[in-house]
Amino acid sequence: MWITWKHEDTDFVAPLTFEQKVDVFYEQTLGWQLHIADLVANGGTTFGEFKLGKDGYSVPRIRHSGFAVLHICLSYLELIGSLVTATPQSPTKTFEAGVRAVFPGLLGSSGTSGAVLRRLYDGTRCGLYHEGRTRPGVGLSQPPDRGAIAYDPRNDIIGISPERLPRVLKAHLEQFKQALLNPTNLQIRRRFERRFDSGFTREPPNKALQPSSRAPRKGKPKGRTREARG
């Protein structure tokens, strides 16, 4: 069974070392997600058949593929968010943590960061997942600063370059791999290994960090009260 674009499960002897886990994670994310998105958006050379000794081949970019590229790429932000937070969070908070980690310069001043995160989460992430398209206020563009994502506060809109986004994420993945391999980054290494060993299954958010979903009672409560369960 293939577990990355270049590894089969029989290539490893259990238990995997930490370095092997990082390598599997890296090659899965690069070869099965981000490089595919890059090829769709920009064209280029496939990775080929590594174990058969066959080189990759050239493919052209696919026209009108911008929103398909966003579909491929956006989950990377939530993945990274789940790895950089110390405890499990809600999907919203996890996505926001990923945006802050991958695009720290995008948020700018505190006055606009909330609007940027709202547009990206609701308009991009939720729109693509639930409706198969972005919601109003999000579109494809080529930001003038050569960035992958730009926010226009005057019109409250987000512009995303599908050609640049995969390459920015690939560069971040490379940096993240190096951070994981750094033995001094103990917290993120422990968090990554726990997530890897669980198969990256969804972790329930820390209830102590989540707002109560039950409206407060009016008037004086009778007897002992208890915290609402989210």
Q: What pLDDT, on the 0 to 100 scale, is given for residue 226? A: 42
Q: Which of 22, 10, 13 is nearest to 176 (CA)?
A: 22
In the chain, how many domains are there?
1
In a domain, 192, yes or no: yes
- Residues 54-79 as b/e (b if ≥16 CB within 10 A, e otherwise) read eeeeeeeeeeebbbebbebbbbbbbb
| Separation of alpha carbons 227 and 54, rounded Å | 61
Residue keyed to tokens 């971040």: 172
What does residue 40 show for φ and ψ, rounded to 5 degrees?
-65, -45
Q: Which amino acid is at 80?
A: I
Q: What pLDDT, on the 0 to 100 scale, is given for residue 145? A: 85
What does residue 197 show for φ and ψ, rounded to 5 degrees?
-65, -25
CA distances to 65, 73, 127, 159, 226 from 138, in Å? 16, 15, 9, 6, 42
In a domain, 3, yes or no: no
Token pair in block for residue 106:
């995008």
Helices within the chain (DSSP H only)? 18-29, 35-42, 66-73, 75-84, 91-102, 110-118, 165-181, 186-197
Q: What is the pTM of this model?
A: 0.85
CB atoms within 10 A of CB 227: 9
In a domain, 40, yes or no: yes
In a domain, 221, yes or no: no
Residue 159 β-bridge partners: 139, 150
In a domain, 5, yes or no: no
Residue partners of 211: CB distance under 8 A and separation at least 6 = 230
CA distances to 36, 37, 73, 129, 169 from 68, in Å? 11, 8, 9, 12, 16
What does residue 77 show for φ and ψ, rounded to 5 degrees?
-65, -40
State the residue range of the domain holding 17.
Answer: 13-204
* DSSP count for the chain of H helices, then E strands: 8, 5
Q: Which of 82, 106, 94 is nearest to 210 (CA)?
A: 94
Residue keyed to tokens 């987000």: 158
Residue 59 β-bridge partners: 44
120 with 141: CB under 8 angstroms?
A: no
Q: What pLDDT, on the 0 to 100 scale, is given for residue 86? A: 83
In a domain, 223, yes or no: no
In a domain, 161, yes or no: yes
Q: What pLDDT, on the 0 to 100 scale, is given for residue 223? A: 41
In a domain, 215, yes or no: no
Mean pLDDT by 10 residues, the chain (230 residues): 95 96 98 99 95 93 98 97 90 94 81 87 96 96 93 94 98 98 97 94 61 46 40
